[in-house]
Amino acid sequence: MAQISFPSQLKRLTERHPKPANYRFSYGTAGFRTNGSLLDSVLFRVGVLAGLRSKRLEGKTVGIMITASHNPEEDNGVKIVDPYGEMLEADWEIYATALANAPNTEMFIGFLDTIVCDQKIDLFQASKVVYARDTRPSGLLLVNALRDGLDAIGAIGRDEGICTTPILHYIVRCINTAGTRENYGEASAEGYYKKLSDAYRVLVEHQPTPPKLVVDCANGVGALALQQLAQHLFPILEFSSVNTDTENSSLLNHDCGADYVKTRQIWAPNVGNLIADGERGCALDGDADRLVYFYRDRGHFRLLDGDKIAALASIFITQLIEQSGLDTEKIYVGVVQTAYANGSSTKFYETRKLALECVPTGVKHLHHVAERFPIGIYFEANGHGTVLFSQPVLDAIYEREPISPTQAAALRYLKALANMINQAVGDALSDMLMVEAILAHMKFGPVEWDSLYLELPNRLVKIIVPDRSIFRTEDAERRLVSPSELQERMDDITFQYPQGRAFVRPSGTEDCVRLYAESTHRYQTDEMAYRLAGLIYDEVGGDPATRPPEFL
């Protein structure tokens, strides 16, 4: 039994939310995520842990987001947000997993005892947690379990209702920086819309109004947020929003949204007829933290994914630094990629001699490394990313006295970019405004943007396997360590294709592995991907019912 004197209601409320038998939870790259019907006990326990986290941080507010992002509507998930809007500290992910898997009340309280002792937590310290959810029907019941968890540990909760993941991260950061020199803004959704739109207006001053932007909202919470943001941006930027049905939950992410567009490499069925030749559109995911663009080129679909967004941002920000009169030896752009980054994008940065790092998949890895650069740009190819301005760079931008109109304009635009870009987390709406502003400044249409480099044709394949945990990787997930000899057999295939590259890694959010393949020609890339997928099925004994015929 616990030696710590926990609140009297803890045991009673814990027993109200028993853990499902014979199921193991794991705090992955995006927190806990699985079928929503299994998560009641997890939400309760996450509420308790978030309360302890706030107490450990001397009462700073932490956040909880209930979402499963691009997953089907029957799934749900939860993640804890640290005080500056960043992901939960890695050591506490271990605590989260241990608490979620405690089989009974006694062991759960025993784990809590260990955490309190290890972290020297004062249980009398006040604690505050702000939480929100996306539009999934399971979210409301999960919020009730979360509230029980907060009550059980004596934490004060603030319910933001239904909102996007990036808005929740933004609010957490605003609350914790209020009254400091790092004050991030007004801690509300309205404050978020106003901050982004005000900065966008500065960036596009004197620029012509672009055509309406087609936005695929994935039938998710991003549709509601875009509707509010549009009111702040009218008439300088207008939208043609599609897939905005948030009432019919079965439509969430169904044949639409950023993950569908990126994976299938085609627009949603009801989007293509809205895009004229040479015009652009974009797609959000279910919780609006991912963004990909696309356009029609002589009738054909063309994708502008996270790699292309990062390239566009790197050019524009580098130009502004050079025009601003800032010290380019100390203030420069660094780019962080994962193994999913297209090989041509990597060569693009190498040619321009930009600082470049490759890290394992997951925003927590990208964000951490991007913070090391004066200005760090990170985007996963799936469209999840942002730009981080370090505090010394922000100080230099605000303290610099311009000596010419060019310098004054560049500094003004750098300030506006830093305000408009959500520096707490990847944010589809913020990134969308960044792209629109840069395209306006550079007088680029989607064709010119796409021409920054010629992307190698690539294919992403999801493979259902009996046990994804047997897949272990190294070299930023670019090489397999286990199953043994599978990497060598994959190499035998990829070496047969010009500029062939492929890797496989276990998903951090779903019960599957993901295979990425690229080479110089589309038909060769598809052939290589299907051969590799078949090899993996043969190696690990994948369920025949889930094996597409092209993998045979």
Residue with tokens 């190294």: 474
Mean local confidence (pLDDT), 433-449: 97
- What would the pLDDT profile of 109-139 be if each residue is shown by its tens digit? 999 999 999 999 999 999 999 999 999 999 9
CB neighbours of 401 closer than 8 A, spacing ≥ 6? none
| Residue 4 DSSP code | S
Measure the CA–CA gap between 472 and 479, rounded to whole angstroms. Answer: 9
Per-residue confidence (pLDDT) for residue 29, from 0 to 100: 78
Q: What is the pLDDT of residue 546?
A: 59
Return the pLDDT at 539.
83
Give the pLDDT mean for 25-32.
88
What pLDDT, on a 0 to 100 scale, did the predictor assign at position 511?
76
Task: Report the alpha-carbon distance of residue 458 to residue 89 in Å, rounded.
Answer: 34
- pLDDT for 70-111, tens place per residue? 999 999 999 999 999 999 998 999 999 999 999 999 999 999
Task: Name the amino acid, one letter, at 134.
Answer: D
Task: Retrieve residue 289's tokens.
Answer: 């933290």
Instruction: Output the CA angle 151-86-101, nearest 5 degrees.
Output: 50
Residue where the block lists tokens 């064709």 = 447
Q: Which of 196, 197, 203 is nearest to 437 (CA)?
A: 203
CB-based contact 284:221 (threshold 8 Å): no
Select which of 5, 37, 54, 69 is catalytic.
Answer: 69
Distances (CA, A) of 32 to 73, 122, 521: 15, 27, 38
Q: What is the pLDDT of residues 260-292, one digit of tens each?
A: 999 888 999 999 999 999 999 999 999 999 999
* Angle of helix 105-119 versus helix 40-56 axis, rounded to 10: 20
Query: Looking at residues 208-226, what average pLDDT do you find?
Result: 97
Which of 512, 518, 519, 547 has the alpha carbon at shortest distance from 533?
Answer: 547
Average pLDDT, the chain: 94
Q: What is the 3-state secondary structure (H, E, C) of 376-403?
A: EEEECCCCCEEEEECHHHHHHHHHCCCC
Task: Give the pLDDT confidence score for residue 552 in this predicted structure.
Answer: 47
Q: Is 197 among the residues known to form the active site?
A: no
Cβ neighbourhood burial of 79 (10 Å; 0-12, 13-18, 19+): buried
In the chain, the N- to C-terminal Cα span, in Å, equals: 55
CA 79/CA 53 separation, integer angstroms: 13
Distance, CA of 527 to CA of 518 (rounded, Å): 10
One-letter amino acid for residue 21 of the chain:
A
Indicate whether 30 pLDDT > 90: no
**Backbone region of residue 228 per phi and psi (left: phi > 0; alpha: psi in -120 to 50; beta: other values):** alpha
> Which pLDDT score is estimated for 387?
98
Structural contact between residues 81 and 62, judged by C-beta atoms closer than 8 angstroms: yes
For the segment 200-209, the average pLDDT, to the nearest whole number, is 95
Q: In this predicted structure, what is the pLDDT of residue 549?
A: 55
Q: Are 381 and 518 in contact (CB under 8 A)?
A: no
Residues with Cβ within 8 Å of 215's Cβ and at least 6 positions away in sequence, in order, are: 226, 239, 240, 241, 242, 281, 282, 283, 284, 432
* Residue indicated by tokens 């057999």: 489
For the segment 380-417, what is each residue's pLDDT rounded down to a tens digit? 999 999 999 999 999 999 999 999 999 999 999 999 99
For residue 98, give the nearest of 86, 110, 89, 81 by alpha carbon: 110
Higher pLDDT, 204 or 458: 204
Single-letter residue type at 292: V
Cα gap 445→442, rounded to integer Å:
9
Structural domains in the chain plus CATH codes: 9-162 (3.40.120.10), 191-306 (3.40.120.10), 307-450 (3.40.120.10), 458-551 (3.30.310.50)
* Omega within 30 of 0 (cis) for the link into 483: yes
**Is the confidence at residue 1, as pLDDT, over 50?**
no
Q: Please give the Cα distance from 456 to 228 (Å, whole number).
A: 38
140 residue type, one letter? L
Instruction: Give the neighbor-by-neighbor strand order of the sheet with 501-506.
Output: 458-463, 513-518, 501-506
Distance CA 300, CA 292 (A): 16
Reported as a pLDDT band with limits 50, 70 and 90, residue 507 is: confident
d(C-alpha 95, C-alpha 443), whole Å: 50
- Could you identify the residue written with the tokens 């399971």? 138
Q: What is the pLDDT of residues 130-185, one digit of tens each?
A: 999 999 999 999 999 999 999 999 999 999 999 999 999 999 999 999 999 889 99
Tell me the average pLDDT across 16-45: 94
The residues, any chain, with a CB within 8 Å of residue 57's CB and separated by 6 or more, are 83
Residue 528, C-beta contacts closer than 8 angstroms, at least 6 positions apart: 459, 493, 494, 496, 497, 500, 502, 517, 519
Looking at the predicted structure, is the pLDDT value of residue 543 above 80? no
pLDDT at 460: 85
